[in-house]
Amino acid sequence: MSPRTSERSLRAWQVAVLVAMLLLWHAISRNEQTAFFLGEPVKVAGRVWSWFLPVDVGANALFPEGLAGRADIYVHLGVTLLETVLAFAIGTVLGLAVGLWLALAPTASAISEPYIKALNSMPRVILAPIFAMWFGLGIWSKVALAVTLVFFIVFFNVYQGVREVSPVVLANARMLGASRRQLLRTVYLPSATSWVFSSLHTSVGLAFVGAVVGEYLGSARGVGYLILQAEGTFDVNTVFAGIVVLTAFALLLDALVGRIERRLMKWQPRQGETERL
């Protein structure tokens, strides 16, 4: 079986699993009491349709009640995406910088180790009210909360990646006269790159989590705010619609990270190529 055929078969199975899950959800939601708690997939799709498409496209005929409670999703989604992207970028840069610094400075690493462990063990959600006091109820309190989630994931992966550089490679590079800056560029960073991208895929979801949780605790805009309002009126279909929208954009951002990873990691053999070797 060729790799292309295998990939198509895998995609077909993935789509089949998704369709089966939706059909099961639809069957369960036929019961009114169950639908109150789990929602109905058709109405969830109608809510998403009504958010993103104009009123005059006939969505109301396709999805009953699809246009009820129409919201300016672009404004809310734009706020959440801005918070997420800022937190993702800031947390990644800070995690990369601090991870490299402590991995290359054993004394500073030994001194700061108990404090880093204590900060990482702290439930970061409890910092949300403090950030709201410091930065107000605008986007920066949400960004700050999400940064605390992204930072430690990136930090520990970079730290571990640099610490696991082969001593033989380091010794050879030093024998060839490599300076500290050259070691950083040609040995340490390439060693940590795969660890960094592994952490970024996890950080995408955490950046969304931080932004949405911050909106839950105090905000007038954002998808988290829409979900909170829907929960207050027991509108479970809108809650699931918000979850679907957030999941879709999280997957898009993760796909963008994956594309950048493939471009920067061309030197690394893929799994299929490794198996053939």
Q: Tens of pLDDT along 14-50?
A: 899 989 998 998 888 888 888 888 888 888 888 888 8
Q: Is the pLDDT of residue 145 over 50?
A: yes
CATH architecture of 73-276: Orthogonal Bundle (1.10)
Q: Tens of pLDDT along 203-233?
A: 888 888 888 888 888 777 888 888 888 888 8
Q: Is the pLDDT of residue 64 over 50?
A: no
Q: Tens of pLDDT along 70-106?
A: 557 888 888 999 999 999 999 999 998 898 888 888 8
pLDDT at 57: 47
Query: Which of 16-25, 55-64, 148-157, 177-186 bottoms out in mean pLDDT, i.e. has the lowest?
Result: 55-64
Q: Is the pLDDT of residue 4 over 70?
A: no
Q: What is the mean pLDDT of residues 114-143?
A: 87
pLDDT at 183: 72
% pLDDT > 90, the chain: 13
pLDDT at 273: 47
What confidence category does residue 121 fall into, taking pLDDT thresholds of 50, 70 and 90?
A: confident
In the chain, where are the structural domains located? Answer: 3-62, 73-276
Q: Is the pLDDT of residue 58 over 50?
A: no
Q: Is the pLDDT of residue 61 over 50?
A: no
Q: Three-state secondary structure along the chain?
A: CCHHHHHHHHHHHHHHHHHHHHHHHHHHCCCHHHHHHHCCHHHHHHHHHHHHCCHHHCHHHHCCCCCCCCCCHHHHHHHHHHHHHHHHHHHHHHHHHHHHHHHHCHHHHHHHHHHHHHHHHCCHHHHHHHHHHHHCCCHHHHHHHHHHHHHHHHHHHHHHHHHCCCHHHHHHHHHCCCCHHHHHHHHHHHHHHHHHHHHHHHHHHHHHHHHHHHHHHCCCCCHHHHHHHHHHCCCHHHHHHHHHHHHHHHHHHHHHHHHHHHHHCCCCCCHHHHHHC
Query: Which of 22-26, 129-133, 140-144, 194-198 bottoms out in mean pLDDT, i.e. has the lowest?
Result: 194-198
pTM of the model: 0.78
